[in-house]
Structure 1
Amino acid sequence: MTNTKTTKIAVLGTGGGGRAHAARLAELGYEVHVGTRDVEATLARSEPDMMGNPPYKEWLADHPGIQLHTFADAAAAADEIVINGIDGHNALSTLTGISACLSGKVVIDYAVPYLYGAEMDHPWPTPWGTMPKLDPCDTDSLGEQIQRALPDVKVVKSFVTQEQETVVNPKGIGGGDHTMFVAGEDSDAKRTATELLAAYGWSDVLDLGGIVSARGMEMYAHMHSAIGLALGLGNHFGVKIVR
């Protein structure tokens, strides 16, 4: 399925997840505007990032047509959809700072509010260090915080329960026979997110209701990590809701 009209979509974030979305959207025929905090600094980096991704300048050269801007300029360029891949610790403050560029648009948020390096009585050791703490958790979520801070924005929490490489290519696992979730207060915005998921190849999308369900998706991140550790690093998997 390809885009039949010129549609500008913004992807905020230059990490592995943002790259996966930007590349797939460009492949589908969208005009992609990527946002970063400091364009010059991003392009000046010559070393891989903390996840081992090559310098963004190299990646960008291999993906002609994708445009790099500041967060604000990328969001302003989007016709309707802004995909938030900013790290969870900085997402709220960053989005609040560019609120005028987001007004009236659909923000699909997949950030997980990980707090790295937090003191914990009972840390969870992993091959990459201590599992980060979720903050907020239980009684609030990052998705809810973003929606409260940006009442003129239609926030949809989605994409959270898979690696982003799988979000943009669900058929890479089990032929695509697994489930994606959406949550938010605006039914039209959730429909927009679901249509984008269909373009990616998803056939099973479950609406979890209001943005409060972002709590469940964000807290699932720890379960996802536990499953990944049990299967072995590098083994991607899907989650299927069996009715």
Structure 2
Amino acid sequence: MKIAVLGTGGGARAHAARLVELGHEVFASTRDPEATLARTEPDIMGNVPYSQWLADHPGITLKSFGDAAGAADLVINGIDGHNAVAALTAIADRLAGKTLIDYAVPYVYQHDSEHPWPTPWGVMPKLEPCDTDSLAEQIQRALPATKVVKSFVTQEQSTVVDPASVGEGDHTMFVAGDHTDAKQQATDLLTSYGWSDILDLGPLVCARGMEMYAHMHSAIGFSLGQQFGGHFGIKVVR
């Protein structure tokens, strides 16, 4: 399958690398490929320059967001939550009729808070939207011709693509969306990654719960001494 991964951060890199291993034709993507390849310093999260990473992962083609989406059968959104709606709206025609699996968290950084949450790396970002809306729903409204599925967001992406790295894979992944066929595509991809416990939460409105879980995910990670990300899983026992 031809799969586009939108974004060049650590999560997007994890998906791109794993998808190539699984035999897919993978298009990584960024706003400006030339600028991305010209960078010589690690990114804000400490990931090596993308040109270096790309050289170490043959079989991945870097394109612009629009070109990657247009060439793909399935699209994974790893664009940061603050910029996702605008970036995806700009390429809406390339996404029409396709499934878009969204794992972005709608974080707002460097915000003013009356009651800040200190973390080992600074003040916890706030979620916007939350409670009465979700980023996934905003994306779906902006892209009515696209089938949006929310998934992957309750776990670090390095674990999403390799669930067996935690508890031999015995933990739960979630999907939500308004299109049954699109959720099946997401489920099939998760199964190929190695997931055996995949829980369909129902319509896309359930993305609100998944996105708001981001704070709980961080809290668990901090309690385990994991300052960045979290190498653990959650299991729905039923």
Query: The TM-score by the shorter chain falls in which range?
Result: over 0.9
Structure 1 residue 78: Cα displacement: 0.3
Q: Does 1:24 align with 2:18?
A: yes
1:164-208 superposed Cα distances (whole Å, 9 cap, x missing partner): 000000000000000000000001100010000000000000000
1:22-58 superposed Cα distances (whole Å, 9 cap, x missing partner): 0000000000001101101100111111111000000
Measure the CA separation in 2 of the matches of 1:53 and 1:35.
16
Q: Does 1:242 align with 2:237?
A: yes
Structure 1 residue 139: Cα displacement: 0.4
Structure 1 residue 65: Cα displacement: 1.2
Task: Determine which of 74, 78, 82 is the counterpart of 2:75.
Answer: 82
Instruction: Count matched residues.
Output: 236
Task: Determine which of 46, 65, 72 is the counterpart of 2:66.
Answer: 72
Structure 2: 5+ residue runs without aligned partners? none
Amino acid corresponding to residue 237 of structure 1 in structure 2: F
Structure 1 residue 127: Cα displacement: 1.0
Structure 1: 5+ residue runs without aligned partners? 1-6
Measure the CA separation in 2 of the matches of 1:47 and 1:76.
30
Structure 1: 4+ residue segments shifted above 6 A: none
Measure the CA separation in 2 of the matches of 1:115 and 1:68.
27
Task: Determine which of 151, 158, 163 is the counterpart of 1:165.
Answer: 158
Task: Determine which of 44, 47, 71 is the counterpart of 2:41.
Answer: 47
Amino acid corresponding to residue 61 of structure 1 in structure 2: A
Give the TM-score of the pair, scaled to structure 1.
0.96
Q: Does 1:100 align with 2:75?
A: no
Q: Does 1:142 align with 2:127?
A: no
Measure the CA separation in 2 of the matches of 1:37 and 1:242.
41
Measure the CA separation in 2 of the matches of 1:82 and 1:120.
35
- Tell me which residue corresponds to 1:3: none
- Tell me which residue corresponds to 1:11: 5
Q: Does 1:126 align with 2:129?
A: no
Instruction: State the secondary structure of the residue aligned to 1:136.
Output: coil
Measure the CA separation in 1 of the matches of 2:34 and 2:115.
41
Structure 1 residue 119: Cα displacement: 0.8
Measure the CA separation in 2 of the matches of 1:21 and 1:141.
23
Identity of aligned residues (%): 72
